[in-house]
């Protein structure tokens, strides 16, 4: 009789052995997800919103990424 290697599961019930979201982000080439995020709602002029959305789409990015970069730059100069 030959011995067969015992196969171990990648994850167990209750707690995953790997963070699936991190692996998916690495495979997609995306940034790892932030630990905690908060929603920011602002009211802006509808024409400004339209222009912003159009520019973001033409740059093949998203509003969140652009606004995050702008906020980080502003905070560097103002904190």
* CB-based contacts of 26, cutoff 8 Å, min separation 6: 32
- Asked if 57 and 66 touch (Cβ cutoff 8 Å), the reply is no
Task: Name the percent of the chain lying above pLDDT 90.
Answer: 52
CATH architecture assignment, domain 20-78: Orthogonal Bundle (1.10)
With a threshold of 0.85, does the pTM exceed it?
no
Task: Name the percent of the chain lying above pLDDT 70.
Answer: 58
Res. 75 pLDDT band, cuts 50 70 90: very high
Does residue 45 carry a pLDDT above 80?
Answer: yes
Res. 54 pLDDT band, cuts 50 70 90: very high
Q: Retrieve residue 62's tokens.
A: 């998203």
Using CA atoms, how far residue 15 sits from 7, 24, 37, 73, 74, in Å, is 18, 18, 23, 38, 40
């Amino acid at each position: 009789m030959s011995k067969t290697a015992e196969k171990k599961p990648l994850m167990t019930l209750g707690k995953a052995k790997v963070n699936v979201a991190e692996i998916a982000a690495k495979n997609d080439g995306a940034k790892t997800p932030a630990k905690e995020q908060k929603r920011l709602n602002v009211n802006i002029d509808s024409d400004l919103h339209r222009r912003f959305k159009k520019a973001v789409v033409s740059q093949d990015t998203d509003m969140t990424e652009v606004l995050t970069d702008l906020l980080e730059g502003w905070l560097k100069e103002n904190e």
